[in-house]
Amino acid sequence: MASKKLSSARPPGENKKRPDWDNYFLDIVELVSKRSTCLRRAVGAGLVRDSRILATGYNGAPSKLQHCLDIGCLREQLKVPSGERHELCRGLHAEQNAIIQAALHGVITKGATLYCTNHPCVICAKMIINAGVVSIVIRDGYQDKLAAQMLKEAGISVKQL
């Protein structure tokens, strides 16, 4: 049986522009963030090792609980400013959910890179440190100086694209 040559949409010799790995994974966590159920901010995160996705997470209420999309935002009702009083929230952060999903499914996070749409808060930073994550790549900043200081002290590099 003779093989057919497939025609290309691009002229021969024209290079296809592929995203580098960091932008590729940041684009993926941007898509993951669209599953967020938070009314204030949509965040996506992913743990990656050896260019393979280990787990992803987005911010929202724990499994089996009602979402803020459905019942409203406790933080809004209490007028809690962003970045303060994290315990006054029904939701988990995207980074927390990614780490929890890895643990739930028996996936080792040691040596992974965390890709996230935003810089982690201090609570997430502590979890990231203890999960053995070695580097973080983010798209947007977040004003949490203590988180940045702790990550630096732990030797975890943070790169913003």
Query: Pick the catalytic residue: 14, 76, 95, 153?
Result: 95
Alpha helices in 44-134 (DSSP H): 68-71, 74-78, 94-104, 122-130
Residue 47, classed as helix, strand or coil, is strand
Active site residue 95: yes
Phi, psi of 46 (to 5 degrees): -150, 140
120, 113 contact by CB (below 8 A): no
Residues 6+ apart with CB under 8 A from 119: 136, 138, 140, 141, 142, 144, 147, 148, 158, 160
Q: Would you mind telling me the total number of residues written for the chain in this entry?
A: 161
Token reading at 131? 């999960």
Sign of CA dihedral 125, 110, 141, 75: negative
**Residues labelled as active-site residues:** 95
